[in-house]
Amino acid sequence: MSISNPEIKKLYGLAAGRCSICKMDVFGNDVHIGEMAHIIAKSLKGARGNEVLSGGRNSYDNLILLCANHHTEVDQNPNFYTVEKLQSIKAEHEKIVASLFDTPKERDNDLSFLKIFMRFVPFTRLRYFVEHLPTSVKLELCSVGDMFEAHCKDNPHLYPLNDQNLQGYFDSFIRSYYDLWYVISGSTDVEGRQQSNFSQADERFYLHMERKHLPYEKIAELNDILNEKNSKFITAYMNLIDFIRGNYQEVDLNSYQQ
């Protein structure tokens, strides 16, 4: 039995004609690249085909709209793309689509927060600012905290964010930033005196670790801490970028105005 027209219309409509994973328009350049992938394969020998199915194999509940590339990826990696994971991806994608119309004010507020933040923070350069840690770091990194705090004071109605997934990613990002900056801007006890971990900014706006004034064991300890904090910061930063690109395409990540 083929997939019925009502099932097709429901699938494409609730997914807004976009791949549930990469959000690509499946009608790009007047070419239809969408594919109705089976969560549990039609054949028992197919991807996830031996899983228990409560409804029909060609029913809406067992279908997910994907682009051709992700259809191939999903079927070639059944251990990663489990039934539960695909159902979650589908549900989350359809929730995002519905939110565009169900809660326009809440989404508009989240968009406003992101757009203002990106305008005043050199967001796309943050990885460059920390690439020389633990030895040195760009002073401009502090703009993340400065602008976030100013933004929250000026626009208290925009934060916390309404989208709980966005809030989770942003909260992880900002927390990891503060954890990292706390070490950079902090000090270390050296025989009863407090020694700054990093120097004042030089003419190129770099802060350098105070290696001349810190004992070897303190430098080694700082290196380990900074590497750990920086790794977590970059991970949270990249996760936030991926989420915004996939779900808030109206936001220009490179809109910083110096």
Same domain, 52 and 13: yes
- pLDDT of 45 > 90? The answer is no
Q: Is 233 in contact with 176 (CB distance < 8 Å)?
A: yes
Out of 20-29, 82-91, 125-134, 181-190, least confident range? 20-29
- pLDDT of 1 > 70? The answer is no
Rounded Cα–Cα distance for residues 86 and 80 (Å): 10
Same domain, 238 and 138: yes
Reported as a single tens digit per residue, the pLDDT across 193-210 is: 999 999 999 999 999 999
* pLDDT score for 18: 94
Same domain, 82 and 67: yes
Q: Which range marks the domain in which residue 172 is found?
A: 104-247
Same domain, 151 and 231: yes
Give how many domains the chain has, as a whole number.
2
Confidence band (pLDDT; 50, 70, 90) for 11?
very high
Rounded Cα–Cα distance for residues 60 and 155 (Å): 42
Reported as a single tens digit per residue, the pLDDT across 97-139 is: 887 776 678 889 999 999 999 999 999 999 999 999 999 999 9
Same domain, 217 and 111: yes
pTM above threshold 0.85? no
Same domain, 77 and 33: yes
Per the prediction, the chain carries an average pLDDT of 93
Q: Is 230 in contact with 130 (CB distance < 8 Å)?
A: yes
Same domain, 42 and 19: yes
The answer for residues whose C-beta is within 8 angstroms of residue 87's C-beta and 6 or more apart is 39
- pLDDT of 56 > 90? The answer is no
Rounded Cα–Cα distance for residues 57 and 50 (Å): 12
Domain boundary among 78, 102, 126: 102
Decide if 254 is inside a domain.
no
Q: Which residues on adjacent β-strands are paired with residue 189? A: 194
- pLDDT of 28 > 90? The answer is no
Domain boundary among 102, 129, 159: 102
Reported as a single tens digit per residue, the pLDDT across 60-80 is: 999 999 999 999 999 999 999
Phi–psi pair at 238, nearest 5 degrees: -70, -35
Tokens of 211: 């290696």
Decide if 257 is inside a domain.
no
Class of residue 254 by CB neighbours under 10 A (exposed 0-12, middle 13-18, buried 19+): exposed
Rounded Cα–Cα distance for residues 112 and 248 (Å): 11
The answer for residues whose C-beta is within 8 angstroms of residue 169's C-beta and 6 or more apart is 236, 239, 240, 243, 244
